[in-house]
Amino acid sequence: MFHVIIPARYASTRLPGKPLQDIAGKPMIQHVWEQARRSSAATVTVATDDRRILDACRAFGADAVLTREDHPSGTDRLQEVASLLGLGDQEHVVNVQGDEPMVPPALIDQVAADLRAFPEASIATLAEPLDDVQTLFNPNAVKVVTDHQGFALYFSRAPMPWNRDAFADGRPEKLPEGALFRRHIGLYAYKVGFLHDYVRWPASPLETCESLEQLRALWFGCRIHVADACQVPPAGVDTPEDLERVRQLLAAG
């Protein structure tokens, strides 16, 4: 059994009021909630810091809670909601971002099942093979390297692993065959007890340097299991252009 929590903030630099943007006659957050409800989750709860989003969610029948506005990270907001819901330390939650209206339910189930399958992990997450140079060298695409069991060794915005020979003269035209390049997919399952520990730890130097929250978990010795996604996840909505693309996709059925 697991629970889904969907953080949904009103503020967005590139797309203010993003969760309430209309897509095919529904606010975006409703599409996310409906996709999460198609998973095997025992409960699905929207967590927001804005009453407009809270009211919209309750209007279409979602369970929603109002959180503090001053959380330094999404993980902190998740921990507050787990506490508000009274979840036990051994229970599992999946964090589904509120700007992913086409998130496949199969991926939600997969990451939840992966956390159950690896009890030594505090977190489970997903990745996909990376086979193009542009993405590998794009700092907005997070890369991950794992050990032979799939446990994360490191996450970075930099190209990794660094192929010494192929990259000797800088960025190559194409990636070498058989390389272990993987792009991280930001869908997480957590043990609730880990969330309570996480918010008590100070930000780690690596986390601050890379601006990646998961590096705090590695810094403090927690294990993160990474599985290859069972299907390609569609991109989320960050910009007005993304919003229009998703509108067209959903309008086409």
- Phi and psi at residue 56, to the nearest 5°: -65, -40
User: In the 3-class helix/strand/coil scheme, how is 167-184 assigned residue by residue?
Assistant: CCCCCCCCCCCCCCCEEE
pLDDT for the residue numbered 146: 97
pLDDT, tens digit (0-9, with 9 covering 90-100), for 64-99:
999 988 888 888 889 999 999 999 999 999 999 999
pLDDT for the residue numbered 253: 65
pTM of the model: 0.93
pLDDT, tens digit (0-9, with 9 covering 90-100), for 106-145:
999 999 999 999 999 999 999 999 989 999 999 999 999 9
Mean pLDDT of 211-240: 92
Task: Compute the mean pLDDT over every residue in the chain, rounded to the nearest whole number.
Answer: 93
- The encoded tokens of residue 210 equal 């890379």
Round the CA-based radius of gyration of the chain to a whole number and report it: 18
Mean pLDDT of 12-19: 81
